[in-house]
A and B are shown apart, each in its own frame.
Chain A
Amino acid sequence: QKEVEQNSGPLSVPEGAIASLNCTYSDRGSQSFFWYRQYSGKSPELIMSIYSNGDKEDGRFTAQLNKASQYVSLLIRDSQPSDSATYLCAVSNNQGGKLIFGQGTELSVKP
């Protein structure tokens, strides 16, 4: 069983729509949750961090965490073609700095 699972892509949404990216994790001791965006040929870029249950908003991005359901999601409002990238969910139990990454979801925003 994979430790961090993301819905398989590619996910295609029209420009201006809401893109919803989902992630589940198996370790109940997980404490920190991160979303990274990775453009093709580039390195991962941290776009959101969330540590407590509920929603956290930053511009067009909203991260949602539900520790009871072991679920974290990323919503991208008013999606733009420039949002087209692979989104990686990463989870940490705060022991040793190790991040467990999901396989990533490829998002394509069509003009």
Chain B
Amino acid sequence: DTEVTQTPKHLVMGMTNKKSLKCEQHMGHRAMYWYKQKAKKPPELMFVYSYEKLSINESVPSRFSPECPNSSLLNLHLHALQPEDSALYLCASSQDHASGMYNEQFFGPGTRLTVL
């Protein structure tokens, strides 16, 4: 199985809602990532988990809260978002983040988030 799955595919939420995005991989990868992508822009790294520990937080606002319950799962909890947070949220995984091919990142299909 070489797939990263994400749920839901689409999410519409109000600014006062709390919701969660989910990501799962069964490739035995030990590094997982959250990215945000706006239209016509490249993916922008938000968080990196390595061996289930948060290793990079790219100064993301606290209204985004990541969680890694186990080596296969990654969640992104959302609370009090702003309309400008509307974007495609991508999860990715890699074997780890050592050199070369171990850092090949495979993306899930993404969750398209709209904040009203």
Count the B residues whose beta carbon is within 8 Å of the partner chain — how many?
Answer: 27
Describe B's contact surface by its main secondary structure: mixed
Which residues of B are found within 8 Å of A97, using beta-carbon distances?
A: 31, 33, 48, 50, 55-56, 94, 96-97, 103, 105
A41-58 contacts to B (CB < 8 Å) = 42-46, 49, 51
A99:B108 contact, CB within 8 angstroms: no
* Given contacts A32-B99, A103-B41, A98 and B56 within 8 Å (CB-CB): yes
Which residues of B are found within 8 Å of A99, using beta-carbon distances?
A: 45, 103, 105
Contact partner of B48 (CB less than 8 A), chosen from A44, A45, A96, is: A96
The 8 closest A-B pairs by CB, nearest first: A97-B97, A101-B42, A43-B107, A94-B99, A43-B110, A51-B100, A44-B107, A43-B109
Chain B residues near A (Cβ < 8 Å): 31, 33, 41-43, 45, 48, 50, 55-56, 88, 90, 94, 96-101, 103-110
